[in-house]
Amino acid sequence: NVTLDPETAHPRLILSEDQKSVRWEYVLQESPDSPKRFDADPCVLGCEAFTSGRHCWVVDLAEGRYCAVGVSKESLQRKGSISFNPEEGIWAVQQWGFENRALTSPPTPLNLPRVPRKIRISLDYEWGEVAFFDVENKIPIFTFPPASFAGERIRP
């Protein structure tokens, strides 16, 4: 149950009133620029940040054919173009039409039997593990190699 942080949302992203869902809009919204806000890539972070423990949540992609979901370091650069991979502080999977891939460097194609509509994201901070599961088909999607978060705050 992730609450999205409106202060980080790219100006093309519209958050729902309860800040639990997001959609892309063709027209740029008038949003105050700040160091927290993404300005090039259409991204938004969750409000909560983790520095320990195990956490999981489900993302409903029923209406998203072109999106990525995962976690990132809070210190992730938000100005200019982003490289979506663990080296830059992002652990995510992407749905691009009917193609799915893990955002590694280079991206890893995911040969899934169906395009997932609900993805469970699991974060184990101490083990440095980020894993993704297809909720409806009850199958693993991808697990990133263990990372060292080194005290860094990790956000959905």
Q: What percentage of the chain reaches a pLDDT higher than 90?
A: 83
Q: Please write the tens of the pLDDT for every residue from 21-43.
A: 999 888 888 888 899 999 999 99
Buried b (16+ CB within 10 A) or exposed e, 57-87: eebeeeebeebbbbbbbeebebeeebebbbe
Q: Superfamily for 47-155?
A: SPRY domain (2.60.120.920)
The ranges assigned to domains in the chain are 47-155
pTM of the model: 0.94
